Chains A and B, each alone.
Chain A
Amino acid sequence: MASRVGSRLAGTAIAVFLAFAVCAVLILLVGANPLEAYAAMLEGSVGGIAALTTTGVRMTPLLLAGLGVAISFRAGVFNIGAEGQLYLGAIGATIVGLMPLGMPSWIHVPLALLGGIVGGAIWAAIPGYLLAYRGISEVVVTLMLNYVGIYLASYLVDTESGPLGERGASYSQSAQIQTVARLPALVAGTSLHLGLVIGLVLAVALWAMIRWTPFGFRLRMIGANPIAARYAGVRVGNQIVAVMALSGGLAGLAGAVEVIGLRYRLYENFSPGYGYDAIAVALLANSHPLGVVLAAGFFGALQAGANRMQQTVNIETSLVFIIQALTVIFVIAAPKVGRFTFPRRGAGTPIEEARGEAVHAG
């Protein structure tokens, strides 16, 4: 066990190194010094309290959404719609956060978070239902719902016609949420908020859930072999919908804490692709909740360092997305060391058969 984790970490370290090496060439090509660029990145991500809090802020949505994606992967379901679920979560939290409930913070904040969880869970339960009971590829549906979710948020905060939109604002945004609905800061005077702690606690809780609870056992079962799971009495369809709802709820929570912890408003297009990065996070973590913490921390640091890099050596921040993607590609392309153990399911194989219905009949 320990050696397996060790070899995985070693494999990932090599992949990270290779990704940085390739990007060094890109930096050279645009006429800058890679060492200077990477030094700036390091400085901006872990060089001091301010940098570390920035890393924590960027890490938070990646952690929560990454946990959501990882949970779905463990069950052999490909929820790649975290981006849309994150928007629905932000919408849910904003709606609750804007309400003048007259409640104390310790009630209003959890309610807003719940609003986010519900929003994301519904958005993911739709493709979950379609997969479980209609045999429709969750991959395409979750991808399509990403765009629908983003446009739904844009509509809601439209400054002219949106129900949540702030009239006359120069950018499409909602009004500010109630002060009592805001998550407290972790470090006074910085934007690091309680969302990070929520994410860390949930990572441990999910790890324990997968390992020790009946729900976690069923989740692993349908991931490993849905047909066997069905013969063992697992209601595979219900389990898929439940897993998708949980997965989307976590992504929704990521959107919720962005609103009530960081921005205090819902903005149009507020996510720079956290939901897509979350796929890479889950993958790098081999879908292990504790691994997600490490991977989200790494990606958060990259994104935090990117701004400093842009300021000092004028390298586009999009470079870090190349680093992220290359890391993932190198990990999955690597021979044996750190190979991923995915349930080898394509649409049209066990899960559909396991439902015991003739979906493809005709």
Chain B
Amino acid sequence: MAHKVKGYHALTSIKRERVLPVTGNVLVRRMQKVSPTDVIVVAPMAPEYLLLDIAQGLNVTPTRADELLQRAAGDSLVKGDIIAGPVGLFQRVIRAPENGSIKIAGEGKVLFEITSAAYELQAGMEGTVTNVIPERGAIIETRGALVQGVWGNGKITYGVIQPVSNDLLQELVPEQLNISFRGTIITAGFIRNPETLEVAGNIPVKGMILGSISSALIPAAKKADFPIMIVDGFGTAPMNRAAERILIANKDKNVALNAQPYDPFQGKFPEVIITQSTTKELQGPPETEALKTGKQVIILNGPLASRIGKIESILSQKKILPNGISALVAELSLSSEEIIEVPLTNLEIIKTTDS
């Protein structure tokens, strides 16, 4: 059976679609090099509409109101411009309430769109535009390191990555945070103290990449002003060694952190992309592989969550777990040379070499 391969790669080819859900103006062209902060598409993200009852405003019938219209659908107007009228003794008119345009007009009514500030979608990563999606965005490709997570607070940034300690196994506590982390994307093992988030926000850090976080801190993490990405899960598990190795090796480098919420049905993962200059021919990361003896795997949950091991064997018959559940299991050797049995459902494959 094909098994999911975790998204930790020291060097791979990365291709991302950056599009808006509405139509807009694409500002980039094919083969253009972009940096994370470059705007690739602009659009009125959430236009505000006003339904103007012209007939009522002019105190006439809808048919008469249509005759009194001075502007048509598609016309742009400045605040105060006359839309309809004048009519009657007092020469009543209907004026544009804001700068905007008429979208629909008829039957005594006008649907007016207020000009709103354009939403600018940034590239979010360094790379080359390999394809333009008309009116929506672009596909950007790069080569570099990739670490995907399982939870993100929906924010995005670009900056220098700074591990808080030499390994990412420990809890990040408020005392470890100081002004030297200002403006950096910090990475650490896990957090469980709400004060840590508060102190990080006060410094302020630019982003945070953690192995795990206590689920009690989810509401505070969602409210944080900076992006937070969780690599392994919830609780007090340290960062897994494969992701740790990549993040530590890229200390002081610029990384693109996109802490978008995890949505497997849309293929959205929170992720860190670290562009590398290389001439190596690279393929995209493998997404599934067969689970078999010799594969490196990560344990997804339980007391050994985020530990990495090697499959020594996969038992052909189901085994009864200590809690009585019957499951197909693999025998794993951990770095401590300890052999443990883990259900296949609780494993994902890790590729430690360059893809």
A-B interaction:
no
Seen from chain A, the residues whose Cβ lies within 8 Å of a Cβ on chain B are none
Seen from chain B, the residues whose Cβ lies within 8 Å of a Cβ on chain A are none
